[in-house]
Structure 1
Amino acid sequence: MDNNIHEDCGVAMIRLLKPLSYYQQKYGTWMYGLNKLYLMMEKQHNRGQEGAGLASVKLHTQPGHEYMFRERAEGSSAITEIMGSARKQIEEARRFCGDSTDFDYQEMPFAGELYMGHLRYSTTGKSGLKYVHPFLRRNNWKAKNLCLCGNYNMTNVEDIFQKLIKQGQCPRIYSDSYIMMEAMGHRLDREVERNFVEAQQKGLENDAITEYIDQHVLMENVLKTTMADFDGGYVVCGLTGSGEMFSMRDPWGIRPAFYYKNDEIVILASERPVLQTTFDLEYEDIQELQPGCALLVRSNGEAVVKRILEQRGDYACSFERIYFSRGSDQDIYNERKKLGEQLTPQVLKTIDNDIAHTVFSFIPNTAEVAFYGLLRGFKHYVNEQKIKRIEALGRIPTHAELEDILHDYVRSEKVAWKDIKLRTFITEGNARNDLAAHVYDVAYGSIQPGVDNLVIIDDSIVRGTTLKESILHILDRLHPKKIVMVSSAPQIRYPDYYGIDMPRLEEFCVFQATVALLKDKGMEHVITDTYEACKAELEKPVGEMRNCVRDVYEPFTVEEINCKIVEMLRPEGMTTPIEIVFQSIDGLHSAIPNHKGDWYFTGHFPTPGGTRLCNQAFVNYVERVWK
């Protein structure tokens, strides 16, 4: 996949159910929760390298002592930075408290029972520390303090923004995170006030009222009144100052979350293997949070799963399985292998069944598992051909005949090597392009020039920039008879608005090729007709819109678009024949049957907001690029 496609964000949560002295005695440190949070975040580092943050809540504190802690930092080393800052504060406190099991709980920073971590990738283009999660809303009432983070992108921020304004609020920043914080904070205030009235009706006074509120806040009430209007893919996580912990998944099931609980801990992360490895758990131990549901841990440690919103669809993100999530998940590993294996017939066609003169490889490193699947498919094919040759003899083969038949095998090499990273201090166009061409290097001598085909599999082809500027150019140095580029994912045709940084149509090589074909065939009217159709759809209520951008692709087959992509991506001066093979939509669903979210391939967006934004993206393209 192109290196400049950003992943979703990642979340991690831990609720300790025992006193810190328990973990000190059993695991040798009261920092058990903090240490485990660090591991969970590092194991999800792939999900966010622009920033990271952590938050902790301490229960049973006395007035005048801090009970909510937060650290945030930007950059690829942000996890190390925030954990280093937390440990530095702990070390400074130890000078006064001493390092023992009976340390001064009130004074020790990050000595909490609740921990939450976040890995950030920006999908909005906004940067700066103020956009790094978690976000914190302060108040002198413990129960009104709210810390929020998540893996999400909302498509109807403007609608929620206007709703807050009508309520009399004045949000100070226009972003989905801050607007969600203000919306949820407002509902949390109402929930606290509900309990305040109840406490008064029971005859309670003063701090007894506060204690009642802290013990009776129901975050499901807050979530039900906050999240019903949001359109998007999300896993929203939060802590309150009174000790409530929660995580909610969107009702379409777009973004993933997994959890586990026992008598010591309640934990949650964006990926299953993170929990398995960090806590030495079995696959079957871990549960997936279902669409529209929330994992709630009360201030007393009671953990429950509540349905917040009725499920509105079954659109779990297939890109999570193809690329974003760790391949160490047993289901994802098998799915990626199948994605590669079932491309065998298509690839066979491109090489005219000449396996003896074909070398298979992959683009490091996310396509490696799909590569193993492709090899498995070809090994099965070769074995079947061997059986047929033996059966065709009609007799017991001689040693020489067996040797000749069994000599056939599938050849694989690590042809492409990631060599260097592009250094941004080189900004001049020609110099930068020359450097980009050397991001990859090849294993010279790995194929026979002019004789061997070279089949290279990647997990997906999005913009095609890396192919044109580096990969095809460097592979051509081996002088193969033919290069076949294989994508384990289908053609990416549409933007994403649920957490992946793919918002503009003109960035996709498939869209560019389709537009070029329309020009070649004198069919520019399709662009203008679609433009007018998109504008008309945008005048309708959002729930009644259809995705008119799909009309652009109707005149052409996948194969026609593939040929145009090759023409556009072929480096200047390169004469080696090139073919591109994409996964089919049917193949995608066959390999990944339980994750039906395919809007970036099909244009079938799971939410009305996604359809609206796709139509708007086409209008923006025409007005910005086409005209």
Structure 2
Amino acid sequence: MTDIIKHECGIAMIRLLKPLDYYQKKYGTWQYGLDKLYLLMEKQHNRGQEGAGLGAVKLEASPGNEFIFRERAQGSGAISEIFGKVHDSFRDFTPQQLQDIDFVKHSVPFAAELFIGHLRYSTTGKSGITYVHPLLRRNNWASRNLALAGNFNMTNVDEMFEQLLSEGQHPRDYADTFVMLETLGHYLDREVQYQYDKIDKTGLSGPEISRLIEEKLDIPFLLKRASKLWDGGYALCGLIGCGDTFTLRDPWGIRSAFYYHDDEVAVVASERPVIQTAFNLKKDDIRELQPGEAFIVKRNGTIMNRQILEPKEKITPCSFERIYFSRGSDYDIYRERKRLGELLVPKIVETIGNDFDNTVFSFIPNTAEVAYFGMLEGLEKRFNQNKAIELLEKRDELTAEEVEKILSKRVRSEKVAIKDIKLRTFIAQGKSRNDLAAHVYDITYGSLKRGKDTLVIIDDSIVRGTTLKQSIIKILDRLDPKKIVIVSSSPQIRYPDCYGIDMSRMSEFIAFKAAINLLEERGMQHIIQDVYEKCVAQSRKKKEEMVNYVKEIYAPFTEEEISDKIAEMLTDKDIKAEVKIVFQSIEDLHKACPNNTGDWYFSGNYPTPGGNRLVNNAFINYVEGQENRVYQYSLNFSNGTK
């Protein structure tokens, strides 16, 4: 992707199902769980460049000793920093103490059986160590302690906030992270109190009551009660201080979560291949958590899957996970990305006028490489068909030498664009920054026939088009191609995402700006005002009653008209080559990724009611010039971060 957008957050959870001395004997270290958590987090490093955190719970801590631990850090080096701090804490003990499992279990921090990890990207504004997961809710009762980490963004935090107020609470922050923590904590408190009230009548001692409460905690019940109002995409991991753990996925299946368990370990992560790699497993060993389902491990090691929320009628897992966010090493994702490239072939062939002899194909490093391979395979098939037709049509007049010449023809592919340098932040603004931006990529000189060849180059998606305009098209034009065709393996991004991706402001989308330009050029500005008035008119309605009126901005134009306008907007007047932009169709996206049908950023079809409210708010803020508050609600509320 040429335009950098922030990834989804990443989660990891490990529950050791054997005593620590088991891992000491079998694997040579009681740090087995900690080491595996590090692997799971590093393998998902792409999902969290802003911060990382880990939490741990000991199962057998003695009173007077800590039983729940946390480390958090900010920045791209956060994973190394937090694990460095954990290992630094071990230096307080002698080598003999660290080999004594009984001492370790009772006295060494992070020598635990339960772990969660989080990789953070903020989505809508708030930052700082306070917002890095896991968040903790502390209490002297182990069963009332909660550590929470998730990949989520909620669209109705105002309603969730109001619910807490109605219960008599005083939440200390509007951010969805804190509201979810307090909501779950509230129902955890109620569940503990319910169990206490039942058991207290039996006349048991305090420690016995506490032990029975922990045993009887009904995790599915409290998850059902806490999540009944939630609107958004989420994959949420929680550790309870008594030793229970849970992972819950939203009922629309928007966010992803995968799990595995055997007799030694239970594990959860945002992506399947990271579990495969960390535990040396086969693809089929790992299960995907289903929409609305929870994966729960009780303190005693009992594992259960429970349907917490009924799956929605239309399940819409995020397609951007397949196009861009998740690691391409996943078995299915690799094939889907190749298919995305292959399905573009008919549009590409039409754009180049079926002229393979004078066309060079390439890709923009590095995330579009797999789609490029699929595109090449599809082009080779099409080119071979062309050769077969030519051989059949001329079969009576071709010499052996001419047949050999036809058969020797190949699709011309080159590595034309090379990612060369990384911009430094000390160049803050102005012409110097733009000049340097033009050199982020370099080119392979001599890869084209000057003034004669068409250059087709594939990217995985085009969001803002900034890097294309400031850098790539200018650099490619130095090769003197007759025509430059930029191909996007995803459709036009037209609408904000409100479930976790950093795509929130209408003016960020080059497709939206192209549609606005077309409306203005054709004297159709009244549509902009009409849409604005419709959005404002329904702003006080319940979210379930709202519709996405922003679709009307695009309705007068074909996809090709918008694509051509985008090409025009991204082409400076000093570019000599003709520039054409080709986008994947939504229909072909679904053919390539049939199990991940979430396409709201392309189609405007939001799976949850809150999505329609937020896209309308985003358009209102665009028209009013107040896009810094894109997720603001009637409560004067600004949605926070993951």
Give the 3-state SS of the residue equivalent to 1:105 in structure 2: helix
Question: What is residue 639 of structure 2 aligned with on the other side?
Answer: none
Change in CA separation of 1:305 and 1:427 when aligned onto 2, cut-off 3 Å: same
SS at match of 2:151: strand
- Could you tell me which residue of structure 2 aligns to residue 189 of structure 1? 189
Which residue number corresponds to residue 452 of structure 1? 453
Cα shift at 1:184: 0.7
Q: Secondary structure at the match of 2:150?
A: strand
Q: State whether structure 2 residue 598 is matched by structure 1 residue 597.
A: yes
Which piece of structure 1 moves more, 383-392 or 483-492?
383-392
Contact 2:246 2:294 in 1 (8 A): yes
Question: Mean Cα displacement is larger for which, 195-204 or 461-470?
Answer: 195-204
Partner of 2:562: 561
| Equivalent residues in 2 for 1:163-242, closer than 5 Å | 163-242=163-242
**How much does 1:413 deviate?**
1.0
Contact 1:2–1:463 at 8 Å: present in 2 too?
no
Partner of 1:87: 87
Aligned pairs (5 A) from 1:466-477 = 466-477=467-478
| Equivalence for 1:29 | 29
DSSP 3-state at the match of 1:409: coil
Answer yes or no: is 1:511 the counterpart of 2:533: no
- Report the secondary structure of 1:388's partner residue: helix
Letter in 1 for 2:323: I
* Counterpart for residue 125 of structure 2: 125
* In structure 2, distance between residues paired with 1:227 and 1:146: 16
Q: Which amino acid aligns with 1:146?
A: L
Q: Say if 1:93 and 1:107, in contact at 8 Å, map to a contact too.
A: no
Counterpart in the other structure of 1:547: 548
User: TM (normalized to structure 1)?
Assistant: 0.98
Structure 2 CA distance for aligned equivalents of residues 404 and 435 of structure 1: 45
Look up the match of 1:12: 12
Structure 1 residue runs of 5 or longer lacking an equivalent are none
Q: How far off is 1:562 after superposition? A: 1.1
Q: Deviations over 1:48-92 (max 9, x none)?
A: 110000011110111011111100000000000000000111222
> In the TM superposition, what is the alpha-carbon distance from 1:531 to its structure 2 partner?
0.5
CA–CA distance in structure 1, aligned partners of residues 333 and 466 of structure 2? 27
The whole-number CA distance in structure 1 between the counterparts of 2:489 and 2:256 is 21
The aligned runs of 1:53-64 (5 Å cut-off) are 53-64=53-64
CA contact (8 A) 2:56 2:110 kept: yes
Deviations 1:432-474 (A, max 9, x none): 1111111111111111111111101000000001101111111
Q: Distance in 2 between matches of 1:247 and 1:98?
A: 32
- Superimposed CA distance per residue, residues 183-225 of structure 1 (whole angstroms, 9 cap, x where no aligned partner): 1111100111111122123332221101111211121122111
SS in 1 for 2:537: helix
Identify the residue that residue 244 of structure 1 maps to in structure 2.
244
For 1:501, what is the secondary structure of its paired residue? coil
Q: Distance in 1 between matches of 2:66 and 2:534?
A: 57
Which letter does structure 2 place at the counterpart of 1:311? P
Structure 1 counterpart of 2:406 = 405
The one-letter amino acid paired with 1:309 is L
Shift of 1:397: 6.0
Cα gap change, 1:394 to 1:98, in 2 (>3 Å): closer
Aligned positions of 1:73-84 closer than 5 A: 73-84=73-84
| Corresponding residue SS for 2:401 | helix
Unaligned runs of 5+ in 2: 628-642
1:494 aligns with 2:480: no
| Alpha-carbon distance in structure 1 between the residues aligned to 2:382 and 2:201 | 77
Task: State the Cα deviation string for residues 295-339 of structure 1 (Å, max 9, x = none).
Answer: 000011111110111111300000100000111111111111111
Pair 1:459–1:239, CA change in 2 (3 A):
same
Q: Distance in 2 between matches of 1:86 and 1:110?
A: 7
- Deviation, 1:104, is 3.3
Comparing 95-104 with 181-190, greater Cα deviation is found at 95-104
> Kindly, what percent of the aligned residue pairs are identical?
57
Give distance in 2, aligned partners of 1:485 and 1:124. Answer: 30
Aligned-pair CA distance for 1:537: 2.2
Which residue pairs with 2:253 in the alignment? 253
Q: Distance in 2 between matches of 1:25 and 1:356?
A: 65
**Distance (whole Å) between structure 2 residues aligned to residue 144 and residue 96 of structure 1:** 35
- 1:332 aligns to what? 333
Q: Is the 8 A contact 1:335 1:591 kept in 2?
A: yes
**Matches of 1:94 and 1:493, distance apart in 2:** 59
Q: How does 1:353-372 map to 2 (within 5 A)?
A: 353-372=354-373
Query: Paired residue for 1:480?
Result: 481
Q: Indicate if the aligned counterparts of 2:3 and 2:462 stay in contact, CA closer than 8 A.
A: no
> Which letter does structure 1 place at the counterpart of 2:45?
H
Q: Write the distance in 2 (CA, Å) between the matches of 1:277 and 1:462.
A: 32
- Counterpart position of 1:530: 531
For 2:559, give the aligned amino acid: V
- Cα pair 2:67 2:241 within 8 Å, conserved: yes
Q: What CA RMSD, in Å, does the superposition of the two structures yield over aligned residues?
A: 1.4
> How many angstroms does 1:101 deviate by?
4.5
Task: Supply the distance in 1 between the matched residues of 2:156 and 2:88 (Cα, whole angstroms).
Answer: 41
Are 2:10 and 2:119, in contact at CA under 8 Å, matched by a contact in 1?
yes
Paired residues of 2:231 and 2:610 also in contact (CA < 8 A): yes
Q: Secondary structure at the match of 2:104?
A: coil
Alignment of 1:94-109 (within 5 A): 94=94, 97-109=97-109
How big is the shift at 1:4? 2.9
Match of 2:433 in 1: 432
Q: Which residue of structure 2 lines up, in the alignment, with residue 269 of structure 1?
A: 269
Show CA shifts across 1:251-303 (max 9, x none): 00000000001000000100000111110110111100000010000011111
Distance in 1 between residues matched to 2:104 and 2:489, nearest whole Å: 55
Give yes or no for contact 1:53–1:71 (8 Å, CA) kept in 2.
yes
Distance 1:180 1:102 in 2: 37
Is the deviation greater in 194-203 or in 123-132? 194-203
| Structure 1 Cα separation of the partners of residues 104 and 595 of structure 2 | 50
Matched residue count: 626
Conservation of the 8 A alpha-carbon contact between 1:151 and 1:234:
yes
Give the equivalent residue in structure 1 for 2:631: none
Alpha-carbon distance in structure 1 between the residues aligned to 2:242 and 2:317: 33
Counterparts of 2:626 and 2:480 in 1: how far apart (Å)? 37
- Alpha-carbon displacement from aligned partner over 1:91-115 (angstroms, at most 9, x marks no partner): 2234672434454320011110001
Scaled by the length of structure 2, the TM-score of the pair is: 0.96
Q: 8 Å contact 2:3–2:464 — kept in the other structure? A: no
Distance 1:144 1:590 in 2: 47
